[in-house]
Chains A and B, each alone.
Chain A
Amino acid sequence: MPHSFLVIDDSKLHHQMYRLIFSRGALAGSTVHYATNGREGYGLLAAHPELTLVLLDLNMPEMNGLEVLERRRAEGLHPHIPIVLVTTEGSAEDEARGRSAGAWEYLRKPFQPADVEHLVMRALAKAEPIA
């Protein structure tokens, strides 16, 4: 079954990067949804229960990554969809907060395609729903 991903990031450049990553190799043919802020991203998350994985940037205007996680937990929205918090190096504190707010994993910028592919494989290997 082809995968479906949601990218929530205010950087158009990162959208393009994910687009490249999700169009290659084992992930070719995947559907990718894009949002440029947390509010829009949360709406897409609600609309797409079939998502394989969500990549959520930490720093964004209009609802940042942590706020998205907190609201999702509070509302119990699609707890089976793993959300990866995308952070920058050296923000260990943010990562800890992300984890406690329900992030399944984090991805550090700068990342390479292999890092994302690896995360996706791990998410798929986790047969059980991830809360």
Chain B
Amino acid sequence: MSVGDENPFGELLQDYVLECLPLAEQVADTFVELERRWRAGDPADELLGSLPGRLHTVKGNSAMMGLTPAQETAHALEDACGLLRRSSERRTDPAAALLITGGGLLVDLVRQASPELDPGPAARYVERVRQWMQGEGPPAADTQSERRRTDRRGGGGADKTDSVVRVDFRRLDALLEVLGEGLIQHSALAEAYRRLARRSGACEELDRLDQTILALEKTLKRLESTLMETRLLPIASVFGRFPRMLRDTAEAEGKRVRLLQSGGETPLDKAVLDRLSEPLLHLVTNAIVHGMEPPDARSLAGKPEEGTIRLDAAPHAGRVVIRVADDGRGLDEKAIRKKAEALGQELRDDEVVPLRSLIFLPGLSTAEQVSRLAGRGVGLDVVAGAIHALGGTIDVETEPGKGTAFTLSLPVTLAIIRSLIVEIDHERFALPMAHVAETVRAEPDAIREINHRGVAQWRGDLIHVADGGAVLGTAAADRAPRRFYVVMAAGGKRQALLVDRLVGHQDIVVKGLDPALGRPDVVSGTTILGDGRVACILDSVRILEGGRRAG
């Protein structure tokens, strides 16, 4: 942005967003809460009293930054709150709606923090507040469209800044790269030590070298955990956007819904949070649009008219578990099975296919009419795909008439993943440990063929066995039988992958794919191993879905 010439503080736009966006979001959330309280007959004086100070700060800072639309919107809201504090008889539904619209507008304007925004929406909003304050009837009803006009998705770049990390995130990424190189060099050193020790036998100097390499590893681990902690943000920075969104959606759908949250303080790596926001938003929207019954239907069913959506996060066994639960009508299991069959999913009688492996199928939607809000062409398969891509799992439980709950389990960090290194046709590959259930020596007659597919006994079950070379497209015709198989599990699916050699466990730093390579179907990224070789990271989820390397 080239505003430095006009505004003396132009280069501080990022600092402005960091400081003012949380304030604007608190204000906007408070407006939603005010509406609830007023409807329940509570004047909520103390909540109203918390607003002018925050609005005043946003107004002043916006003014100094030369962001006039944000300044004027904050000013109008401050005036409106002042009037509402003085006269409780004006605390009505239309007044709350007017405030909520303004809160959303303010959040958008602050988030975008652009001096080149169209001043129209703010000017129109200020005028509506002025009319309302003079008592000229209820405000006009184009509340939604005003927000949408200012909403330039993807333009903010400074989103999710609830918790203040005043370091450009790219620097933390760069530090991580450096750490990654250190880890790789450590592996190389350890490897060299092992060779040396084999060749020359034990001696005092080698012992000391071994100690030093171990100490270096400890140091690097400490550096890693400190750096990883620096990258953590509370999940509230994603949850925080939901109350307003939920209210808008519920209103548009004619539903009554309240949102209960817990565990907002649970920390997650920013890289995970960034990729989590869309799938979560989708699940919450789905819950309102498809899960919740309209108020009259709920009364008939003997439920409270107002539905409840719970959003809970908690750390669990080194991962973060997030639950999105509603008390709506539950999933229509019959319809889902019918739809799945129509999609060509073989539902054999001898196999009880769990609901969870059907609901995440591409193209599966049982909603009779695609709703305006939820029907954005994104199904649960995309949600599941996004969660799997994060090394996570998603599961669903549902009970007719009682509700539906999605349970997500995610790694706390993303960038360094514990992996199993395997060798297939002389190439090395990394398999994320999150999806590795077990490694098994492949005895000569352990694998049988059923319906042209290899199967093996594993923990009392029959599981499919795929050849690593066939999956990767590297299989040579006259090779020796592979000696091991890796049992992989994710999203309720299990499968074994035949490999030549198990090399060992290693923490790998995920690097993106070289765009020149294209995106082979079953490879999710690359990494550098201890010996300096580049290895592909296998996408376990794709392999479990039966994917093959393209070409």
Contacts and interface: CB of A to CB of B under 8 A. Distances in A.
Interface of A: 11-13, 16-17, 20-21, 59, 88, 109-113
B305 to A, nearest CB: 42
Given A12-B15, A13-B61, A112-B64, A20 B166 contact: no
Nearest to B8: A113
A110 B63 CA distance: 6
Contacts of A88: 56, 60
B16 interface: yes
Interface residues of B, number: 18
B11 A20 contact: yes
Contacts of B16: 13
Nearest to A91: B56
Contacts of A11: 19, 57, 61
Contacts of B63: 110
B9 interface: yes
A20 B8 CA distance: 8
A88 B53 CA distance: 10
A17 B12 contact: yes
Contacts of B53: 59
B18 interface: yes
Interface in B1-24: 8-9, 11-12, 15-16, 18-20
Contacts of B166: 12
Contact of B9 (A12, A17, A59): A17
B19 A13 contact: yes
A11 B15 CA distance: 10
B11 A109 contact: no
B19 A12 contact: yes
A103 B16 CA distance: 28
A110 B11 contact: no
Nearest to B7: A112
Contacts of B61: 11, 13, 110
A112 B20 CA distance: 18
A110 B12 contact: no
A11 to B, nearest CB: 6
Nearest to B53: A59
Given A12-B166, A20-B12, 12 more contacts: A11-B19, A12-B19, A13-B16, A13-B19, A16-B9, A17-B12, A20-B8, A88-B56, A109-B64, A110-B63, A112-B64, A113-B8
